[in-house]
Each structure stands twice: as structure tokens, then as C-alpha cells.
Structure 1
Amino acid sequence: MAAARFILPASGNIDGVKLCNGGSVTDLVKGLLKCGQRLDEAIISYILYGALLGLQHLHNNRIIHRDVKGNNILLTTEGGVKLVDFGVSAQLTSTRLRRNTSVGTPFWMAPEVIACEQQYDYSYDARCDVWSLGITAIELGDGDPPLFDMHPVKTLFKIPRCLIKDFEKRPSVTHLLEHPFIKEAHGKDLALQKQLAKLLREQKPHLASVVKSRHETMYTRRPYHVTATEKYSLDDDLVNLEVLDEDTIIHQLQKRFSDLQIYTYVGDILIALNPFQNLNIYSPQFSKLYHGVKRSSNPPHIFASADAAYQGMVTFSKDQCIIISGESGSGKTENAHLIVQHLTFLGKANNQALREKILQVNTLVEAFGNACTAINDNSSRFGKYLEMMFTPTGAVMGAKISEYLLEKSRVIKQAV
């Protein structure tokens, strides 16, 4: 659709005549909070009911709004609820039932919409509006969406890592209209409309002094301008930086490396720089330090990554996988040793001989598959898949190598 603003009332009909002079629901909520009050749950139910009827009309006509938020739900002085602003809406067709453009206002964007920025085979359907309306429901109660105090770009890293992300399991707008909370507004439309109109009249003197929050709708590929101080402020997790480009990452890693901080997070990824010297940060005391604590409690460390995988396995009873990748000499072999070391510590094997065998399996395999190169005296000439088995309670049972890809030609002879 062309970028334009339309008004969609709760009745589900397009109406661009009636003026929404009651302001947005965001303005109303912030005005109440300024007076030390909150929006009554019955009114929240009524507002969401009106927004859902508007979305149902859109979805029935194969239109995705893609920017549902408090600022786009306007009120009339009579207490009417209207869904507005179709600037980034999308029309679905019989040949194109999904979209793959990552667009919207970050705080309200559904995880599957954000994923389309990096995963070009991803797509989404009208249920992305359901996620956005859920965030709007939180906004109506608290005055702001979750993560509102964070830079918008940072939220694009955080949102895909929270709550249930499988939108195929998310209810449709029609199903939500039957939700017990929404059904509270059924049959009470006129009474709640009058109650909302009265509230708007009472709040009118305060609404004029409310500072309007402008959360900008954006395509996620659009860059943000930040100062050098913001760009280069050091942080354990580079996701928290205002800009995450190659220059910034290199600067961060160089600065941290000069302080012998060889580990750095980028979201769920751990970057490890080989210090080419022995660091006393891998003793059993350090294993205890990183056991079962929040990641933010300690500096980045390979033990934290191993501990996160272990806790995920025990808590959710699901297999976990750690992938180690990097250039020759970057420290892959050593970090693999450290992960196994920490996992055997966490597994608390009663059989000391079993623990020692697991720890020595890497050394044994390397004896067959490592070679000296121009840049690495102990370069791995193979790829392996090491499996560690645990009991349901988390005790280590054993380990095995199920894949072993040896580059024989590079082990037995030199290149000409």
C-alpha cells in the first residue's frame, strides 16, 4: 500500500472523517502515570477489544498493519477507539501469503519480523500484529513497552531471545477476541465508552503537559548516528554497543586484549583471542566461580559458555551443541579442552578414572591428527564431533567421538 494514514474505528470500517481529538492511548497512559494513577483493567480490555476488531477487519482483507503500538491507537472524545497509520502496512495476495521485509518500530516488532533482517529465507504472516498488540497491552499497563530504556537497535538483538518465538503457535486475532480478558468488554461497550470519555475529560488538563514519546518506525537496515564516545565505550557484550560494525568490533577487541581480557560476548557468541601465554583463569576455583550464576555476574569466559549449555541441558532436558570455529592458531583446540574440563567438573563423575579418560581423549586424538605448520606448532589437521553423555540429573556418563575427518595428505607429507 502507498504510505498514507487512514483511520480504522472499532467497528471495522474505514472512516477518515471523524477527528481523533482524544489523543493516543500512549498519551492517556502517560498522563495518568504523571498523576500517580494507572489505566483501569476494564478500560484496557475495552481498548484492546477495539484494536482487535480493527485488526480483524484488516486481516480478513489480507492486510498486515506491521506497526501496532499505543501511538497508533487513537481515541475520540466520545470514547471511541481507532487504529491508525498504515504507512508500513502490507497487502497479502493469494500468491504471496507471507512477507519478509523487516520493518516496524523496534520495541513492538515480533521476533520473526526481526529475523528477516539476517535470515532471508524467513517470512511472517498477520500474526506479527498479535505480538505487537501484546506489547501494546504491556504498554497500556506500564506506560512503556519492555526494553524501552534501551537503544532501539539493541532491542533488535534482545527480542528474538525472549519468550515463545514460534509464531505458528501464536493465536490469531479472531482467537484473541475470545480470550477471557477481552471478553470482559463484550456487551459493555457503551458503558466502557462513557467511562473512557469521562476519563479523557478529566485528564485533558494534564495531557497538554505530557511529553510525547516518539518511537520511530524504521527499517532495521537503516543506520543510526552515534558519537565516538558511544561507539567505543567498552562493554563485555558488544550487543550493547550503539553501533556494531567491523571497526568498532576490532577496536573493542584490541582494547580488551591489551588488558588481557581475551573473551568478549556478542550476544550468544563468545569471541576468544589467543593470548599466546598462560593465564591463571582456568583452575577449579574459576569453575566454581562460573557455576550456576548469571552471565553478567562475571567477566566473559569459556566456562560461562560451557555452563550455559550444561544448565540448558539439565533444565530443559534438551541436547545442547557448542560450535568452535576460527583460524589456525586462534585457540580452538585449547578452548575445546577447557569446555570438556568445565563440563566434567559440572558433571561430578564419581569415577575419577572416567573423568581423566574424558579429559585425555582430545590429547589422544590430537596425537594422530595434529601437525606443525608455519604459523602453528600444534595445528589440528582434522575435524571432530565430540559427544558427552549425561544422566537426567546431570552426572557425566562418558564421551565418544562420532565423526572424525582427518586431512591425511596434510599430515603425512609436506606441500611442494
Structure 2
Amino acid sequence: MSQKKITLAIRTLYGLYPYKSSMIGLESLGDPSENWDIVETIGKGTYGEVYKVTNKKDGSQAAVKVLDPINDVDEEIEAEYNILKSLSNHPNVVKFYGMFYKSDNSSGGQLWLVLELCNGGSVTELIKSLIMHGQRLQEPVISYILCSALLGLQHLHNNRIIHRDVKGNNILLTAEGGVKLVDFGVSAQLTSARLRRNTSVGTPFWMAPEVIACEQQYDSSYDARCDVWSLGITAIELAEGDPPLAEMHPVKALFKIPRNPPPTLQKPEQWSRSFNHFISQCLIKDFEARPSVTHLLEHPFVKQAHGRDVALQRQLAALIKEQQEVGCKTKTRHKRINTRKTLIVESCPDDDLVNLEFLDEEIIISHLQKRYDDLQVYTYVGDILIALNPFQNLSIYSPQFSKLYHGVKRAENPPHIFATADAAYQGMVTFCKDQCIIISGESGAGKTESAHLIVQHLTFLGKG
């Protein structure tokens, strides 16, 4: 058997990520009413409504994200403010005009983030509108958009900032065909003492495998190349209108991404070899082997935009104008999550709660009760196995069952503790890494018996 080991542990995790209070005082921010008038609503952001505003002094227009109501500046808002304040001086990063606070004692105050108005919409809106009308973005235009995004990311990475939520909806377009990165609410600062991060955050379909791994393996980390993976997924989105796995519930996608092979275009033969190769380079699963944004700027697919940027910008501007005249507006359905703060769980067929469309205590108990009445004592929640003590002997622990669960895909058999033990063993052998199985439960729940059953299956596998 491998020298790596499987550990059984019972432990409680709490207080791992204490919140650090904000350094920005609301009282220090100016009143937006002195400078800006709201014209119309233009969208909805991560935190609140987005409006078009006009400057009272010079008539210039901007966009404002209004966070309403608010009593304090939380860590994500503060991160976005600090990045915009110091790094928005780049042609491919949205310009920042300031943060303001409008107090209201009765309903709570409003925080205003005033940004450059990108009235061309997002690249997601553009591609969905094109596809709806039987068209698609041509590769040179895709190359121009990706080149612009890479330049913006290079600016961030050179200043030790990881975006962590690169996707079509966070790449905005100006009416003139400019390309701007936006939404830095979950961006992270890398320091000399901390060159990697270990918080699992982003929009599920675009999240890199190493970012997802941080939710399950607390010793995992990642660096700025997680943005490269997200850009590869965005490249597929620009070609096809949706990211891979878009038809799945986001949490199920989180379980699939680390386990599936790197995604590709659905019909690669319809696209150039250069575009396919660019995507494959972005989507190398081992981030240590994945190229940086600086290396990707030298990729042949991206370099085709060099020297043609003015013409391609005009071509993109014409496309934007054409689609806006058609008047097709699409709404995104992909939400960002921070899995350390938010656990979205919706579940699939009977044996996995990850696909339940609605989730509350009553639904979970009802679902488990129904299975328990049918003597189905095991239920998955993604990688977690719920075991209900049947208080009777069940004939499902014989060597024949160990053979049934040996080295097969989890979906091929009903939930079982042998599947959990088998997954740990296969992970140990395949990746040569220690594995840990945490067993938790109330007194009498069956923790000791579960540990015995895991050891029984491991003994079968190790022939010891």
C-alpha cells in the first residue's frame, strides 16, 4: 500500500476566518447629491441597483452602483474601493470617479460607487443578442476582446491583485468599442508575505479547480493564474454564449469542475486551431503548469489583434450599435458566491441533496425521512455522506458490496459509506496525497460503527 495515509478524524471547525472591520468611515465620504443626478436605471449589480447619472457641473455622464441601505463599509466594498482608487488608470480597467455616502436616518444610508459609464453593455449581453439573431462573434473580434482583457489583468497582476471573478458580465464595452474590466468586490491583494490565496470565491462556472479545492482542502492555495482559467471559460462563453456546465445547478458544477477533464468548445472543428489551442492553454488544470497572462499575450491567437486594434474596435462598436438598435436585452442568471460565507445547496435525484431546488430544514428532514422509511440510510450532499442509524442489521456490508464499490464512479451505485472509503483510497493512490475522512455526529449516531465500516473497506482494498 502507498506510504501516504488515510486519517479518520472527528473535529469541529469554527472561527477560521474572522471578519476584520473596515478602515473607511462613512462620515468621511462626501454627499453625492452635490455633484450627481440620477437619470435612469441601467442594471443590477452584485450589491444593488446600477444607475446612469449626470454630473451637475459639466453634464458628463457616469454609472453609479448604489448600495442601499448600508450602515458600514464591508470588506468586499472596501477591497473594490481600494483597487479602483489606485488601479483604474488603465485603458482596460473601468475609471473610478469616487465613493460617496448619502445619509438617511429613516431608511438607512446609501453608498454610491461612481464609475465610468460603459454604455455598450457587457460582452455577455452582446454575444447572447448575436446568438439569438443567428449570428456569432468572429474570431478576430474575440481575439481583440480577450487581448484587451489580458492587458487589464496584466495591469492588476503586476500590482499583485487577483480579480477572481473574470467572466463576460464583468467585461464591459463602451459605445466606441473599448473593453473594460469591472467588479473588483472579491479581488485579492497578494503581498510579499502571502503570494497565494486560499479563499474559495467567484462565480461557480468560471471558478478554477484550485480555487474550488480550497473549500475542501484547507492546505490548498492558488495564485493569479486562477484568472487565466476564468478567462479560458470566458473565451468559450464568447464563442457559444454560455460557459461549460451552464445547464447545471452552480453547486453541482463546483463538484464537477475539479473532476472533469478541461472543457473545450462543443464543436472545435468550427473554430481555428489557434483559438482551440488558446483555450486549452488557459484551461490547464494544474495551475503550476498554466501560463501567465503575460505569456498568453504572446499567443498567436491574441497576437492577431496586435496592429489591428483600431479596426477591430470599430468593428466591435458597429456590432454594439447594431444589437442595441435591435433592442435585445438579456439578463444574467449566474450569481457569484463565496463558499466560505455562502453555501448554496440544491440537489439532484433522490440520493444527492445537492440538486434540491429549495433547501430548508423541513425539506431536508422530509427528504431524509422518506429515504429512511425505505431503509435507504445513506444520502449524499455533494462529497459529504449523511448516515442515519437504522438500529438494525442491514445486509449491505459484505465483501460483495466492497467489490461493488471498488474503483467505480460514485453515480453508478446508491450512496454508501464504502463509496466514501473508496474515494479516499483512490485519491491516495492516484494523487499520492494523504486523505482525511471526518466523522461527526451526536452520541449514538453511529460514528464508531461508521469508522469500523470504513476500516473494513480499506482492509478489503489493501488486502491486509
Deviations 1:242-291 (A, max 9, x none): 6788876665444312112233333345555565235479696x899878
After TM superposition, list the pairs within 5 Å mapping 1:302-313 onto structure 2.
Answer: none
Question: How many angstroms does 1:195 deviate by?
Answer: 2.2
Distance between the aligned counterparts of 1:254 and 1:185, measured in 2?
59
Specify which of 209, 219, 222 is matched with residue 328 of structure 2: 209
Partner of 1:235: 350
What is the total number of aligned residue pairs between the two structures?
338
**1:331–1:129 distance in 2 versus 1, CA, 3 Å:** closer
Partner of 2:373: 258
Does the CA contact (< 8 Å) of 2:94 and 2:181 recur in 1? Answer: no
Report the AA paired with residue 144 of structure 1. Answer: D
Distance between the aligned counterparts of 2:375 and 2:414, measured in 1?
12
Distance between the aligned counterparts of 1:214 and 1:51, measured in 2?
22
Does the CA contact (< 8 Å) of 1:67 and 1:108 recur in 2? Answer: yes
Specify which of 28, 31, 49 is matched with residue 129 of structure 2: 31
Distance between the aligned counterparts of 1:240 and 1:205, measured in 2?
39
Question: How many angstroms does 1:27 deviate by?
Answer: 0.5
Does the CA contact (< 8 Å) of 2:149 and 2:171 recur in 1? Answer: yes
Deviations 1:165-211 (A, max 9, x none): 542222211111122322232232223223222222322223x3222
Does the CA contact (< 8 Å) of 1:23 and 1:76 recur in 2? Answer: yes
Distance between the aligned counterparts of 1:167 and 1:135, measured in 2?
15
Partner of 1:3: 80
* RMSD, aligned CA: 4.2
Does the CA contact (< 8 Å) of 1:64 and 1:91 recur in 2? Answer: yes
Distance between the aligned counterparts of 2:201 and 2:368, measured in 1?
31
Structure 1 range deviating more: 136-145 or 331-340:
331-340
Does the CA contact (< 8 Å) of 2:120 and 2:175 recur in 1? Answer: yes
Distance between the aligned counterparts of 1:87 and 1:116, measured in 2?
19
* Secondary structure, counterpart of 2:233 in structure 1: helix
Partner of 1:175: 295
1:93 paired with 2:191, answer yes
After TM superposition, list the pairs within 5 Å mapping 1:10-21 onto structure 2.
Answer: 11=91, 15=95, 19-21=117-119
Question: How many angstroms does 1:323 deviate by?
Answer: 6.2
Question: How many angstroms does 1:35 deviate by?
Answer: 0.9
* Secondary structure, counterpart of 2:180 in structure 1: strand
Structure 1 range deviating more: 186-195 or 137-146:
186-195
Question: How many angstroms does 1:22 deviate by?
Answer: 1.6
Does the CA contact (< 8 Å) of 1:88 and 1:104 recur in 2? Answer: yes
Distance between the aligned counterparts of 2:156 and 2:447, measured in 1?
55
Partner of 2:310: 190
**1:94–1:222 distance in 2 versus 1, CA, 3 Å:** closer
Distance between the aligned counterparts of 2:197 and 2:405, measured in 1?
42
1:72 paired with 2:170, answer yes
**1:97–1:77 distance in 2 versus 1, CA, 3 Å:** same
Distance between the aligned counterparts of 2:306 and 2:247, measured in 1?
35
TM-score, normalisation: structure 1: 0.65
**1:149–1:332 distance in 2 versus 1, CA, 3 Å:** same
Question: How many angstroms does 1:23 deviate by?
Answer: 1.3
Question: How many angstroms does 1:67 deviate by?
Answer: 1.9
Distance between the aligned counterparts of 1:52 and 1:199, measured in 2?
21
Consecutive unaligned residues in structure 2, runs of 5 or more: 1-77, 97-114, 263-283, 441-445
1:56 paired with 2:154, answer yes
* Secondary structure, counterpart of 1:45 in structure 2: helix
Does the CA contact (< 8 Å) of 2:424 and 2:437 recur in 1? Answer: no
Deviations 1:210-236 (A, max 9, x none): 22215333333444799xxx78x8631
Report the AA paired with residue 42 of structure 1. Answer: P
Does the CA contact (< 8 Å) of 1:66 and 1:103 recur in 2? Answer: yes
Question: How many angstroms does 1:134 deviate by?
Answer: 1.6
Distance between the aligned counterparts of 1:195 and 1:9, measured in 2?
25
* Secondary structure, counterpart of 1:161 in structure 2: coil
Distance between the aligned counterparts of 1:281 and 1:198, measured in 2?
66
> Which has the bigger relative contact order, CA under 8 A and spacing at least 6?
2
Question: How many angstroms does 1:321 deviate by?
Answer: 7.5
Distance between the aligned counterparts of 2:178 and 2:290, measured in 1?
28
Specify which of 369, 378, 393 is matched with residue 277 of structure 1: 393
Deviations 1:319-376 (A, max 9, x none): 99796968466355566656777x6xxxxxxxxxxxxxxxxxxxxxxxxxxxxxxxxx
Question: How many angstroms does 1:36 deviate by?
Answer: 1.9
Does the CA contact (< 8 Å) of 2:79 and 2:188 recur in 1? Answer: no
After TM superposition, list the pairs within 5 Å mapping 1:125-164 onto structure 2.
Answer: 125-162=223-260, 163=262
Distance between the aligned counterparts of 2:205 and 2:185, measured in 1?
17
**1:9–1:49 distance in 2 versus 1, CA, 3 Å:** farther
Report the AA paired with residue 33 of structure 1. Answer: I
* Secondary structure, counterpart of 1:3 in structure 2: helix
1:44 paired with 2:121, answer no
Distance between the aligned counterparts of 1:41 and 1:152, measured in 2?
28
TM-score, normalisation: structure 2: 0.59
Report the AA paired with residue 24 of structure 1. Answer: S
Specify which of 337, 348, 370 is matched with residue 218 of structure 1: 337
